[in-house]
Amino acid sequence: MSDYKKGDAILANARHREEHQMEVLSSDDDSVEVRELKEEIAEDDMLLRAYYQLMDVIPKCPVHGNRCIPHAIEWVLCKLAALSEQEEE
């Protein structure tokens, strides 16, 4: 499976988990499990927002467009290498 498809699968899994969690939370139950799920959802939301903010800063992949994980990794590694070279000078 390509990195691009792995990224899509991870996001789809996260969305599925969130949908399931929202079904559980739709009840008025305030059990420990529900509180834990609410905390998980809040953390997942924070991570997804950070992920999207980062991916939106990276230029579009010429082949796949926005949020292409292999392109993003390559772009970040190139930027890190350029910074490393600047520090050595």
pLDDT per residue over 10-46, tens digit each?
777 777 777 776 666 665 567 888 888 888 988 998 9
> Which pLDDT belongs to residue 47?
92
> Which pLDDT belongs to residue 77?
95
Q: In terms of Cα–Cα distance, which of 41, 12, 47 is closest to 24?
A: 41
pLDDT > 70 in the chain, percent: 80
The parent domain of residue 57 ranges over 3-88
Q: Which residue has the higher pLDDT, 57 or 89?
A: 57
The contacts found for 67-70 with CB under 8 angstroms, 24 or more apart, are 67/7, 68/4, 69/3, 69/4, 69/6, 69/7, 70/2, 70/3, 70/4
Signed CA dihedral, 50, 53, 58, 78: sign only: negative
Number of domains in the chain: 1
> Which pLDDT belongs to residue 15?
75
d(CA 21, CA 37): 6
Residue 76 predicted with pLDDT over 60: yes
